[in-house]
């Protein structure tokens, strides 16, 4: 099962991805998590990444595309995966689609998490207190949401048009367990 998640920061897609990978026994490919792991390397790249991420801006397409290509080629991904936080730009989506074509990777389902931005701000602020993420304060949240609207929303629009049969919009303001149930129902229907 190969799944793509779209949704603004704070829409709960990371939480849903973590639950779903357990249920389906597939891999969670969160570019945000992969980048956060790299921050502890202490090398030049990690310093640059920290600067970009803590400002709420996007890391360069070249870096991200390379990371994803390596991950998707890894044997662990052959069972399936959830792409969470990627593709985030049109250039990343072009890279992904070309890469998928040449490696015969077909996406089964695309979920788009929709949520009111005011609710997102509240959620991220409460998360910042719990997890102490340096990119979770109000100015940075605004930058991250703006980036989502300007840069990533057109990508999800592109997928909604080009993969309309596989594209499902999810009301992300619902309770965690309700969303999880909805995702599983959609996946089951698709397998019939
Ligand atoms: P996330 O946890 O998905 O919200 O990602 C945290 C931060 O990592 C983002 O604000 C970006 O700086 C960076 N990041 C994650 N995924 C991507 C991506 N696909 N393209 C560019 N930057 C990314």
SS3 19: helix
Contact indicator for 169, 114 with CB cutoff of 8 Å: yes
Q: Which two tokens stand for residue 40?
A: 């502890």
Reported confidence tier of residue 134, pLDDT bands at 50, 70, 90: low
Q: Give per-residue pLDDT as tens, 139-189.
A: 888 899 999 999 999 999 999 999 999 999 999 999 999 999 999 999 999
pLDDT at 77: 67
The continuous run of DSSP H or E covering 113 comes out as strand 109-114
CB atoms within 10 A of CB 113: 21
144 HSE (CA, 13 A, CB side):
25
Atom of ligand 1 nearest to the CA of 52: 12
Residue 119, pLDDT score: 87
Evaluate the omega torsion of the peptide bond into residue 69 and state whether it is cis, within 30 degrees of 0. Answer: no
Q: What is the percent of the chain where pLDDT is above 70?
A: 96
In a domain, 89, yes or no: yes
34 band by pLDDT with thresholds 50, 70 and 90: very high
Within a domain: 78? yes
Contact of 87 with 95, CB cutoff 8 Å? yes
Distance separating alpha carbons of residues 21 and 187, to the nearest angstrom: 12
Q: With pLDDT > 90 as the criterion, what percentage of the chain qualifies?
A: 78
Instruction: Give the mutation target among 59, 65, 115, 143 for probing the ligand 1 site: most ligand atoms within 8 A of CB.
Output: 59
Q: Does residue 8 contact residue 62 with C-beta atoms inside 8 Å?
A: no
Q: What is the pTM of this model?
A: 0.93
The answer to whether position 192 is within a domain reads no
CATH number of the domain encompassing residue 50: 3.40.50.300
Count: domains in the chain: 1
Residue 1 pLDDT > 70: yes
Residue 81 resides in a domain: yes
What per-residue confidence (pLDDT) applies to 79?
Answer: 82
Residue 90: which domain range?
A: 2-187
* Whole-number pLDDT of residue 22: 96
Residue nearest to atom 19 of ligand 1 (CA): 86
**Which of 70-74, 84-88, 185-189 is the least confident region?**
70-74
Contact criterion met (CB below 8 Å) for 11 and 63: no
- pLDDT for residue 85: 97
Q: What is the mean pLDDT of the chain?
A: 92
Ligand 1 pocket list (CB less than 6 A): 9, 31-32, 35, 52-53, 56-59, 64, 85-86, 88, 92, 135, 144
Confidence band of 75 (pLDDT split at 50, 70, 90):
low
Phi, psi at 84, each rounded to 5° = -120, 110
Q: What is the model's pLDDT at position 48?
A: 94
pLDDT at 135 over 80: no
């Amino acid at each position: 099962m190969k799944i793509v998640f779209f949704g603004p920061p704070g829409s709960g897609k990371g939480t849903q991805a973590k639950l779903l990978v357990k249920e389906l026994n597939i891999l969670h490919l969160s570019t945000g998590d992969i980048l956060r792991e790299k921050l502890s390397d202490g090398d030049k790249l990690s310093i640059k990444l920290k600067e970009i991420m803590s400002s709420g801006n996007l890391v360069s397409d070249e870096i991200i595309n390379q990371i994803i290509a390596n991950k998707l080629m890894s044997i662990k991904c052959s069972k399936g995966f959830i792409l969470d936080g990627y593709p985030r730009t049109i250039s990343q989506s072009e890279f992904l689609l070309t890469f998928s074509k040449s490696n015969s990777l077909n996406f089964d389902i695309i979920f788009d998490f929709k949520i009111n931005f005011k609710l997102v701000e509240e959620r991220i602020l409460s998360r910042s207190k719990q997890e102490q993420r340096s990119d979770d304060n109000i100015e940075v949240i605004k930058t991250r949401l703006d980036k989502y609207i300007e840069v990533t929303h057109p990508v999800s629009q592109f997928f909604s048009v080009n993969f309309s049969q596989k594209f499902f919009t999810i009301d992300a303001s619902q309770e965690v367990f309700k969303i999880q149930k909805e995702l599983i129902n959609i996946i089951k229907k698709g397998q019939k």
